[in-house]
Amino acid sequence: MAEPARKIIFLIGFSTTGKSGVARMVAGELGWGYMDTDEEIVKLAGKSIPELFDQEGEEHFRELERQVLGEAAEGDDMVVATGGGIVLAPRNRELMARRGMVVCLEAQPRTIHQRLVKDTGDGTGPAIRPLLVGADPLARIEQLKAARQPFYDMADSIIHTDDMTLEQVSRETVRGWREWGRKRDPARGPGEMAPACTVTTATQSYPVFVGWGWLDCLGEQMVRTLPSGTAVLISDEAVFSLYGERALKSLSEAGFAPRSFTVPVGEATKTLDTAGRIYDFLVEQRVERGEAVIALGGGMVGDLAGFVAATFMRGLPLVQVPTSLVAMVDAAIGGKVAVNHPRAKNLIGAFYQPLMVLADVQALTTLEGRELASGWAEVIKHGLTLDADLFSFLEDSAGKLMELEPEATTRAIAWSASVKAGVVSEDEKETGRRTILNYGHTIGHGLEAATGYGRFLHGEAVAIGMMGAARLSERLGLMGREVVERQRDLLQRFGLPTSCPGVGLEDVLKAMELDKKVREKEVRWVLPGGVGCVSPRHQVPPEEIRSVLQELIAN
């Protein structure tokens, strides 16, 4: 069993963002203990931090910092104020992500400089930190902050302190902690039918049910939010042959008048032409506004049916019933619906939240091995990027999960779904934090498009993309090789590919340029800094991208 997160709040951020003062206030509000890593280092060394830098050097200071942080992370009910450069060490970042909630107190460089000047009168007194000594402190602040920013952006919560008092920052920190805590127990067994999590956005709030054998409860759950009437079930031919009749029976018993429409299996089906045929069916059935569309199937069906629901009569209620692993933990949650363009995947779509998601984990028992493995890539992605405990749980439980042991599998899927739900709740339209979920997708979507969506399943392409992104992160100095190897080992344990021999390099590069994540003609990358921490990054040297792709293709 993975180690549970402790009740610790780690405050990170640049100097003068208020970490020490906020830590004391938050500790008082929660009735917890308080620690300032810089203060502990001074006690341990018996000298001030400027003296440490001058006499022992930065390397010795960083070693003491790692030691003090390790001791703090063994505690509980604790608020820890950290030094501004503590995020530079991958080991520190991973430890904080694994042991508690990480909150970044943010401020603009000019604000930081003004605070330093206010503290000392002229900006040259003892409040100037050792690394800021020089003729132009503001320029030095800008330089240091830019170097650390990718690591600050990996925090669970970021609070911009420029125009806030310490009291306001403290209240926001406590509010964030309580919200974060509500999302930390996502695992639910197959007993009472309660949601594993809830997605709450500006436009919609809906439950995500995850359980073993829960498909027969579909109608019962739907009737709680929708009046009985026509309900159109959209599925592919393979899934409908397995689960269509059960779903229709459940709907009928709940008072719905169900209709069904099936499409061919495969990503090539997800087109405007197929959507047009479904529109024709809805017109023939005289479907009215307010009557539901139910997506029964994997990610392709969820995207296609969701796109139809979003666009027919300016929007019909949508219920997602995912039957593949990748859909249960990713595609069905969050409201991204789309069809493919011949030149790029998911290029035509919308953000359209469902009324409900119901995942019957038992449906995974009929998946082929390759399809099942594809889904685990998304679960691994959630752990690597956002939840170190989930990543450790996957490492510890890989054998049970590959065998679909009911309790472990339900727990893992509920946990992963909750991670996704938390991010979507914070950022519905992918304008900020939600971009983290694109880890591995920049290269992955490029691979899918470059091979005509025929060679790789989505999760396979994402797994290869994750390896490419991890190698880029290592090359850019964001994390060490140990994490790259941990990721590779876990992907391979779940039967996922970590390279793509024989793919055309130029084809992949061209496809990546057309990806939805391109902004101002520049590919937006998501790169890890350790297990459980990742951040968006816009500028990656083209020669590094080309070199990493060549490695993936050559292996």
- The residues that are catalytic are 314, 336, 378, 420, 430, 434, 438, 441, 445, 458
Single out the residue of 235, 200, 202 nearest to residue 218, CA to CA.
235
Strand-by-strand arrangement of the 101-106 sheet: 33-36, 78-81, 8-12, 101-106, 157-160
d(CA 207, CA 357): 6
d(CA 402, CA 398): 6
Q: Which residues contact 67 (CB under 8 A, 6 or more apart)?
A: 44
214 and 193 Cβ atoms separated by less than 8 Å: yes
d(CA 66, CA 444): 36
* Environment class of 163 (CB within 10 Å of its CB; exposed 0-12, middle 13-18, buried 19+): exposed
In order of 53, 138, 145, 178, the CA distances from 133 in angstroms are 12, 10, 15, 39
What does the DSSP 8-state code read for residue 5? P
d(CA 453, CA 345): 9
- Determine if residue 507 is left, alpha or beta; phi over 0 gives left, psi from -120 to 50 gives alpha, anything else beta: alpha
d(CA 183, CA 89): 27
